Amino acid sequence: MYVTLISSTDAHEGPLFTPEKPPARPNLGCARFLPAGANLFREGDEAQFLYEVRSGVLRLTRVLENGKRQVISFGYPGDFVGFPDGDDYHTDCDVIASAELIAYRRSALESGLGDDLTRRRLLDAALREISGMQDHFMMLARKSAIEKVASFLSVLAERIGLRTGAVTTLDLSMRRTDIADFLGLTTETVSRTLTHLRKKGVISIENAHTIVIRDRSALADAAEME
C-alpha cells in the first residue's frame, strides 16, 4: 500500500490452501501463516516466491546508506509483495499483524506452469505497484505534513476502514515511527499532526492503534490542500 488516493482493488476471492493439504497444481500457490514480528524475507535474499496477502499487515523497508530506515510500503489483504529486483528481493519484509499469505513459486510461473488468471493478476499487481510508487514519490516531494498524514488516513479508510454511520474506525497495526518513516516525517511531526486533526474535530484518537474518522470530507480536503 502506497499513499495514493486512487482506490486499490479488492482481495481476490477463492479458497484458501493449508500447509497440510497443498494444492495439486504448484502454480496455484500454498498458504503460509506468520505471526506478528516474523520476517518474510530480507533485502538481497533470492526471490523464490511472490506472496499474496490474504489477511494481516506486512511492512516493507530498506536501510539507506546513511543508516536511516525508509518504510517503502505496507502490505494489506489484496496486495502482492515480493516483486524482485533482478533475482533478489530489494527490501526487507516483516509481519506487523499476524498474516496469512499465498506463496507463488516464481520458477513455476516463469516456466509457463502458471495459469493465465494468476499471471494476469500478478501483472495487474505489478502495474499498480509502479503507479503507486510514482504517486508516493510525488507525495514525499510535494505534500506538506498535514497533507501526507491526511492522505495516509484517507487511503486506509478506503482499504480497511470500518464504517458505522457517519464515522469510520481504523485499526492501525503499525507504530507512529512506521508511519513517520513511510511519509518522510519525524515521529513527533506525525503525532503533532494527528493531534491537530483531532482538535479540528476531523478524527478522534481512541488509543495508540485506533483512530476514528469523524469527518471524511474534511479529511479529504486536508489531503489535497494544495
SS (H, E, C) the chain: CCCCCCCCCCCCCCCCCECCECCCCHHHCEEEEECCCCEEECCCCECCEEEEEEEEEEEEEEECCCCCEEEEEEECCCCEECCCECCECCCEEEEEEEEEEEEEEHHHHHCCCCCHHHHHHHHHHHHHHHHHHHHHHHHHHHCCHHHHHHHHHHHHHHHHCEEECCEEEEECCCCHHHHHHHHCCCHHHHHHHHHHHHHCCCEEEEECCEEEECCHHHHHHHHCCC
Q: Kindly give the parts of the chain with pLDDT less than 50.
A: 5-27
- Is 65 inside any structural domain? yes
* Range of the structural domain that residue 203 is part of: 144-223
> 49 with 97, same domain?
yes
- Is 9 inside any structural domain? no
Q: In CATH, what number is assigned to the domain containing residue 106? A: 2.60.120.10
d(CA 100, CA 143): 34
- Is 14 inside any structural domain? no
Please answer whether residues 150 and 222 qualify as being in contact, where contact means their C-beta atoms are separated by less than 8 angstroms: yes
> 102 with 169, same domain?
no
> 45 with 125, same domain?
yes
Which of 103, 124, 140 is the C-terminal boundary of a domain? 140
Q: What is the pLDDT of residue 3?
A: 57
> 165 with 118, same domain?
no
- pTM for the predicted model, two decimal places: 0.80
Which of 125, 140, 155 is the C-terminal boundary of a domain? 140
Which of 140, 170, 205 is the C-terminal boundary of a domain? 140
Q: What is the pLDDT of residue 43?
A: 95
- Is 97 inside any structural domain? yes
| Number of structural domains found in the chain | 2
> 183 with 127, same domain?
no
> 163 with 201, same domain?
yes
> 148 with 215, same domain?
yes
Please answer whether residues 27 and 118 qualify as being in contact, where contact means their C-beta atoms are separated by less than 8 angstroms: yes
Q: What is the pLDDT of residue 2?
A: 63
> 135 with 149, same domain?
no
